[in-house]
Structure 1
Amino acid sequence: MATQVNGYHANNTLVSSDRLHVIDQLREKNIGKYLPLPQLVAVGDQSSGKSSLLESLTGIPFPRGQELCTRYATQITHRREEHVCINITIIPRPNAPEAVKDHLKLYGRALQSTAELRADFPAILDEVNVHMGIRTSKNPGGDKTFAEDVLKIEKCGPDEDYLTVIDVPGIFRLTAEGVTTNQDKALVISMVKEYIRDERTIILAVLPANVDVFTQEILALAEEYDKKGERTLGVLTKPDLLQELSAKVSVCKLVEGKRKPLNLGYYVVRNRGGDDDDNDDAGSDLTGPDREAMFNEVPWRDLPKERLGVAALKSRLQDLLDHITDRAFPQLRLETRQMLADSQKDYSALGEPRQKEREQQKYLVAMAGKFQALVRAALAADYSAHKALEDDKLRIITQVVNLTEDFNKDFLQNSHAYSFITSKVEEEHVAKVEWIPDPVFSIDLEDLEAELEMFPELNNITTLDVCTNDDFPDCNIMDWIESMYRRSRGVELGAFGPGLLSAAFREQSVKWGPLTRRYLSEIILVIHRFILRALDVVCTDTKVREELASTIMDRLLARYEDGMRQADFLVAVERDKRPYTLNHYFNSNLQGARGLRIAKALKSHSRLLYGEGAKYVELQKVQEAVTNKSNTQHTKEDIHDILQAYYKVASKRFVDNVYHQAVDHCLLSGPMSPLALFSEQWVLELEDKKLRAIAAESRLTSERRVILERKIKDLEEAIEILQ
């Protein structure tokens, strides 16, 4: 057998009595509102004999009288101590205001014997009623009939066996005018449910034997929370009121498990009745042989002795309480530590208190710093810098690069109104650049439309308009050039008018604007989505986040518009100005096109050299191929080749400029980028009124902070108790 030293077994585990004392300390600290504690709870109707049962079990002489029925939960605790004492205190309800808690904790009475308690108890209950605000004939100024506070009676002495029982107000069905209301009835049922719902609670269902158990509401409530009946114990009181043998036999069948069985079974007890003398020694003869002599008669004597009488019930309750406490204790330690860690995490997420301007500014500055760090990491593709960047929607630079590459390829293939005449080599090159957009980072028209619907604030900035080949007549480019030439030529010899090339380029590049605005719309959507998601990451307070987003929204939209205007400006510069370039690739492309045209014309005149793989063309044929064309044909080809050479240079220049100026500078990394708006400097420049509107704690946050502070303090004390 293990030895005990200072309340511990030799294997360094608490013995049951010490663990029960620890549970009692936890209950006093209101830890039961956070975690289910092992406990015995007596429940039943007001007239079930519950108070008499508790008096029999605990030796506490509960007074008689309807007005003195239980109006609040009463926790009766026995603890073995060297000296006899009875301490009476009030445990405030968990949700009571601090001032009320302080007031209730001031109450306390210390008595030296049960006889002294019997003499003073009615007056003590009157004092408790005043402290709790219970309305009675002696305290007509009370503001309630029932209270959720707990009266704690702790009885200590060398002969006490450790036992804690909680008595909950009895359920009643009919209200008394001027005394109880339907609201009181609902409150009592709610209190009963609150006490019996926890899985570590043994439900002591007190049932008068002279009433059919199938009509007892308390059993229905017990079944609701203890569906398997594993923690409900039935106590049948008032067996002395049964006169007919058949009624007694019916009760015996309950105890024998033949009617409405419970896993913990039923016990039959006879308590002190209403007519018994209050001066009986409540502590010594409540279970005496005279009162329980009836159990020696038929049919009671045929029942197991361990199911009859208060002594048997008390022994069983002590065993049950020991069992559930020993079983729950290790898990209770783990749950308390985990709940403390979770509460500290929740409290940390609230940030520092934000009642003063300095605190509010510090809070927002820290948030802005986190936001900008996230922006820098996302723009640098440093996705390991923050866990949030595992989200593809936050990988902003990757999305931008992929969208830009798609835009470049789309521009190469589809930005011209009419297809240029190309060589077979060029056609093969164009075919090779066909691509399938990345489903993660690309946005098709339907997806773009769906996403933009989620952000209606972007409606006046972004656009879904695109140009397609269906918008242009099905026309060969040479026919189109000839048409333009015939509509604009003058009397010049060997040349075309100065405005013809400008007009041709403008019409050939008519898709540039829609394609560019569509590209900018995709980029703006990516940035806007990033900003809102990043705010979710750095700000957990919904009220602050919404107020912050609302405050910066107008300036965000203005910066998006700046990016779109810059793109429109670049389109206008390219299309409205006269074509001009110093890029040497223009001449290279032009000469190459002309050379290819001549080579194509000479191809039919080429001959193989004898014995060699090379071909030759007679000089006379060269002259014929070059000169044997009309002036109009020469001009058309010249316009085509110049337009094509310039278009290649201008389109590449344009795509680069759109990215560098409109996207990178205006929208991504420039000083007026939308991503740079929410910054430490922006916070420092906020007006006091706006700062308060954004960062001041809401009432809900303040209340949440107070609740968490109280919870953390309680749990820290609980861990100390559980050590």
Structure 2
Amino acid sequence: MSASDSDISSPADFLHFDNGPPKNQGVGLSNPYLSQERRKMLDLVNRLHSTGVQVDIDLPQIAVIGSQSAGKSSLIESISGITLPRAAGTCTRCPTECRLSRSDERWKCIISLRRMKDGQMHSEQFGEVIMESGKSEVEDRIRRAQRAILNPSRSAKHYLTIDHEDDYSDAELSFSRDCVSLQISGPDVADLSFCDLPGLIASVGKGGNKNDIQLVESLATSYIQKPSCIILLTVACETDFQNQGAQELAKIHDPDGKRTIGVLTKPDRIPTGEEPNWIEFIKNEKEPLENNWYCVKQPGSNDLKQGMTWIDARQSEDHFFSVSSPWCDLDDVYKKYLRTSNLVERLSSILSDLILKRVPEIQEELEKSILGTREALTKLPKEPSRDPRNEISNMLHVFVTDLAKRIEGIPDEDGLLQCIRPAQEKFRRALRVTAPDFRPFEKRYEETKTLGKASFLSHEDGYEEIRPRDSRNNLVLDRDSTYTRRPVYIDEVMERAHQARTRELPGSYPFVVQQTFINEIIKQWNEPAQTLCKVVYLVLTEHIRILITTHFASFGLGNLEQRIRIILQEHVKKCMERTEERINWLIKLENRPFSLNTHYLTDYKDKFLSYYRGAREKDRNLDLMNAIEGYTPPTTRDRGISSSPTGIAKVLAGLVEIGIIGIKPEDLAKLIPPDGMEPALVIMADVRAYFQVAYKRFADNVPLAVDHDLVRGIEEGILQVLYTGLGINGPDGQRICKELAQESPNISGKREELMKKFERLNSASQQLLQIGL
């Protein structure tokens, strides 16, 4: 495909000169025949590059690639009008950006070093501005600038004055991604921007680094892989095309050849008879490119050393293509692809058109990047205050307020109180497990007799109803409980009662029997109570840790967060110790059985006594008890039927007949002769009823103590604890606060990086607004 078929620009978009540009006529967009709009586009991209925004978005640019000694430097010299450093082998060791712009002012060149530091592109002018009278100094200045780039640990100014050689063996780097930037302007300068990249190398010499081959290739790739990069591929005619690796690299990243412009160099060195092979490129028949192949002839090193000027070089090039076969024999349609001036005009045209096409996209990308950068900045901690003492004081007050709010309770499933509640419920169950398991029958029947459920307990917590039982109907403890509950049989209770008697009258037993059972139960309460305290301590500590992180993690270097964590750990630990002492005190209170809740205690004693008696009597008089339980009072209809009552009904009727009224079926059990184990039943009922009173009291008091002394206890004087622990109110308070407020280098570096990016993006956005599009 020829250049005329390109969708980037049309033939009318540029002028070509078969015999070179007119006398005293500039090249490229310095040509007044070219549109001002195109010049404005190229000027825009130069200004955008000057902002450094190319590190953030993809800006249109030309990248010059080629194999080692492919004539890239000569081509660039011809376009820019300056002499580049020359040496044997590879002489370009880092990217060289050339920003060319036409100006009515005198010619000048500004050389800068552009280095990437901490993710930011930094530009530093290297030496004074070179004016036209000092044009010969450019080559030496570029060479020195390149040596400064290759030795980043040393000051750039060092290389402005020292003697130097072309030997790079002592350089810290053999190649670098940092670049030398040239800003050249003048009345006869083309409006064009491009980047010269180190030539691709296939091998390294003695003492060289094999990694350099890959480094140079990856450096070229980092440029030409971008969609907005125009690839200027230089190929030397003196070497076989297939042996020049640059064209393979260009194909990888531009397989359709839409972004690549080919340039054939050194046409005067084509071996005799091989000219037709290269003519096929100019005709775009071999390795076709959308923007065609061009051919240029540049002066050699010896020509320049003998004083050949660039005007002379252009005349020499024009003469070569005018008289040398087969170039002079080409049809006019192909002659526009010969000479440096035509190449420059085409490059200017393509680049300006690409810029014009990309402007709306660049504007959109800039807006998105600005929004994203602004959002990233807002997510960073605010910058350290100039009054760190006041800032830290405010932070402490906010923290204490937030802590108090969470201690009071927040409607969140992960709230402090919500996380404590399961431990409180587990504590209550652990206490409930210690209820004495009295059995109103002798131990010898433990394998055959079971105790039914106490239905009157179901309305309280249902614990007796829901807890699993073993094969002998014994209650099974919680898996994680350390308390081993053993059934206590009535004969064991009776034996302990007999052993406790001293001077009591026959049939009377001392209260120490009940107290012994009660004390055995109370001993089991210490472990679950202390466990509750420890669990709440751990939950509280974790919530405080998270809260400290939330409020102080992003402040300074983290020293404030660490110190507050240590201070509050000690504070909470003291509250914990105080709470443990309170729990021990509550347990001591329970060691002496006591209750003013007489009604509650008596009610439960009666219920348990009836429960135990009923179970025992049912066991002793099974038939009677079954009859009582199976009795159904006669209905009104039944009373109308003349039939004699039987069983329980007959007994109740007989009692009514002799004048005993109000007797219930269950009262008939009282007619059974007294049980010798009655005192044991009373003791069992006493102990079991007291447990109901004491365990509920203890189940409330311990969580209350933990809440008062531990959870709410940390609030007491916490602000003063923090101030004292940090020492910020003392004579060294200002210094301490200043040290604590020192910001993390990572955060400050990130903020600085984002701020610089924000400035680049804004500056680039302003440049776009100035073009009036």
Please, what TM-score do these two structures have when normalized by structure 1?
0.73
Letter in 1 for 2:55: K
Residue 688 of structure 2: which of 631, 638, 644 is its match? Answer: 644
On the 8 A contact 2:572/2:714 being kept in 1, the answer is: no
Spell out the pairing of 1:527-606 with structure 2 (5 A cutoff): 527-541=540-554, 544-545=557-558, 548-549=561-562, 552-553=565-566, 555-556=568-569, 559-560=572-573, 562-563=575-576, 566=579, 569-570=582-583, 573-574=586-587, 577-584=591-598, 585-594=600-609
Question: What whole-Å deviation, never above 9, does each CA across 1:270-323 have from its counterpart, x for those lacking one?
Answer: 333334454334498369532334574499769956655434533443344234
Who is 1:696 aligned against? 742
Cα 1:511–1:706 shift into 2, 3 Å: same
User: Is the alpha carbon distance of 1:297 and 1:569 closer, same or farther for their aligned partners in structure 2, counting shifts above 3 Å?
Assistant: same
Question: Aligned residue for 2:437?
Answer: 418
Aligned-partner SS, 2:298: coil
Does 2:152 correspond to 1:139? no
Aligned to 2:20: none
Residue 196 of structure 2 corresponds to residue 167 of structure 1:
yes
RMSD of Structure 2 on Structure 1 (CA): 5.1
Change (3 A) 1:53 1:126: closer
Percent sequence identity over aligned pairs: 19
**Offset at residue 501 of structure 1 (A):** 2.8
Q: How does 1:58-97 map to 2 (within 5 A)?
A: 58-62=80-84, 65-66=87-88, 69-83=91-105, 85-95=107-117
Match of 1:151 in 2: 181
Following the alignment from structure 2 to structure 1, what is the Cα–Cα distance between the partners of residues 222 and 746?
25
Aligned-partner SS, 1:285 = helix
Distance 1:411 1:120, change over 3 A: closer
What amino acid sits opposite 1:239 in the alignment? P
Equivalent residue number for residue 449 of structure 2: none
Q: Which moved more, 1:335-344 or 1:35-44?
A: 335-344
Using a 3 Å threshold, how does the CA distance of structure 1 residues 203 and 642 change in structure 2: closer, same or farther?
A: farther
Q: Deviations over 1:65-87 (max 9, x none)?
A: 55994454333233354556434
CA contact (8 A) 2:235 2:265 kept: yes
Residue from 347, 366, 377 that aligns with 1:317: 347
Deviations 1:215-260 (A, max 9, x none): 445456556766887644443322332215457527836974755x
Assess if the C-alpha contact under 8 Å between 1:203 and 1:233 holds in 2.
yes
Q: Which has the larger radius of gyration?
A: 2
* Aligned match of 1:53: 75
Amino acid of the structure 2 residue aligned with 1:274: S
Alpha-carbon contact 2:519-2:591 (below 8 Å) kept:
no
Aligned to 1:279: 308
Distance 1:146 1:480, change over 3 A: same
Give the whole-Å Cα distance in 1 for the aligned partners of 2:533 and 2:279: 84
Q: CA separation of 1:608/1:172 partners in 2, compared to 1, >3 Å: closer, same or farther?
A: closer
CA distance, structure 2, for counterparts of residue 30 and residue 476 of structure 1: 88
CA shift digits 1:435-476 (9 cap, x unpaired): 99xxxxxxxxxxxxxxxxxxxxxxxxxxx994257x344x25
Q: What is the CA distance between 1:49 and its match in structure 2?
A: 0.6
Q: Secondary structure at the match of 2:40?
A: helix
Equivalent AA in structure 1 for residue 766 of structure 2: E
Distance in 2 between residues matched to 1:701 and 1:174, nearest whole Å: 43
Q: CA deviation at 1:561?
A: 7.0
Q: Distance between the aligned counterparts of 1:574 and 1:431, measured in 2?
A: 26
**2:231 pairs with 203, 219, 232, which one?**
203
| Cα drift, residue 342 of structure 1 | 4.5
1:413 deviates by 5.3
Does structure 2 conserve the Cα–Cα contact (< 8 Å) formed by 1:38 and 1:321? yes
State the Cα deviation string for residues 541-595 of structure 1 (Å, max 9, x = none): 4984487347624752662574376257426633662121223533443344446
- 1:93 maps to a residue whose letter is R
Q: Describe the shift of the 1:639–1:608 C-alpha distance in structure 2 as closer, same or farther (beyond 3 A).
A: same
Alpha-carbon distance in structure 2 between the residues aligned to 1:678 and 1:207: 77
- TM superposition shift of 1:374: 4.2
Q: Which residue pairs with 1:721 in the alignment?
A: 767
2:130 to 84, 109, 116: 109
Candidates 673, 678, 700, aligned match of 1:634: 678
User: For residues 465 and 354 of structure 2, what CA distance do their matches in structure 1 show?
Assistant: 72
* Contact preservation (8 Å) 2:564, 2:722: no
Which residue identity is paired with 1:398? Q
Which amino acid is 2:685 matched to?
Answer: D
Cα 1:607–1:72 change in 2 (3 A) is: closer
Partner of 1:242: 270
**2: CA distance between counterparts of 1:610 and 1:355?**
90
**Closer, same or farther: CA 246–185 of 1 in aligned 2, 3 Å:** closer
Q: Which amino acid aligns with 1:492?
A: E
Unaligned runs of 5+ in 1: 1-13, 384-388, 437-463
RCO comparison, higher one (Cα < 8 Å, 6+): 2
- Corresponding position of 1:458: none
* Deviation digits for residues 389-416 of structure 1 (CA, Å, limit 9, x no counterpart): 7xx65x33332335534554x3475353
Q: Give the match for residue 467 of structure 1.
A: 481
Between the aligned partners of 2:140 and 2:534, the Cα distance in structure 1 is 80
Within 5 Å, which residues of 2 pair with 1:392-471?
393=414, 395-405=415-425, 407-408=427-428, 410-411=429-430, 414-416=433-435, 418=437, 423-427=454-458, 430-431=461-462, 466-467=480-481, 471=484
Provide closer, same or farther for how the CA distance between residues 279 and 510 of structure 1 changes in structure 2, counting only shifts above 3 A.
same
SS in 1 for 2:297: coil
- Secondary structure class of the residue paired with 2:239: coil
Q: How many residues align?
A: 659
Residues 506, 253 of structure 1: alpha-carbon distance in 2 compared, 3 angstrom cutoff: farther
Q: Secondary structure at the match of 1:638?
A: helix
CA–CA distance in 2 between the matches of 1:426 and 1:326?
Answer: 88
Q: Which amino acid is the alignment partner of residue 95 of structure 1?
A: K
* Cα distance in structure 2, aligned partners of 1:426 and 1:245: 115
CA apart distance, 1:638:
2.2
Q: Are the equivalent residues in 2 in contact too, given 1:556–1:674 (CA < 8 A)?
A: no
Match of 2:31 in 1: none
Aligned equivalents of 1:135 and 1:87: distance in 2?
16
> Is this contact kept in 1: 2:39–2:191, CA < 8 A?
yes
Change (3 A) 1:503 1:96: closer
1:661-680 equivalent positions in 2, closer than 5 A: 661-662=705-706, 664-671=707-714
Give the whole-Å Cα distance in 2 for the aligned partners of 1:26 and 1:185.
32
TM-superposed CA distance for 1:165, in Å, is 1.0
Q: Report the counterpart of residue 6 of structure 1 in structure 2.
A: none
| Partners of 1:33 and 1:229 in 2: CA distance | 25
Q: TM-score, normalised by structure 2?
A: 0.69
Map of 1:444 onto structure 2: none
Return the letter of the residue paired with 2:419: Q
SS in 2 for 1:40: strand
* Pair 621,645 (structure 1): closer, same or farther in 2 beyond 3 Å: closer
Kept after mapping to 2: 8 A contact 1:45/1:170: yes
- Cα deviation for residue 50 of structure 1 reads 0.6
| Change beyond 3 A, Cα 1:417–1:610 | closer
Amino acid at match of 1:668: V
Query: 1:24 Cα shift?
Result: 1.6
- TM alignment of 1:343-354, pairs within 5 A: 343-344=373-374, 346-347=376-377, 351=381
- Provide the secondary structure at the position in 2 that maps to 1:290: helix
**Residue of structure 2 in register with 1:18 after alignment:** 40
2:727/2:736 contact within 8 Å kept: no
- Write out per-residue CA displacement over residues 82-128 of structure 1, whole angstroms, 9 at most, x where no aligned residue: 55643424254242999x966x36632344xxxx5755544654775
SS at match of 1:37: coil
How far 1:655 sits from its partner (Å)? 2.5
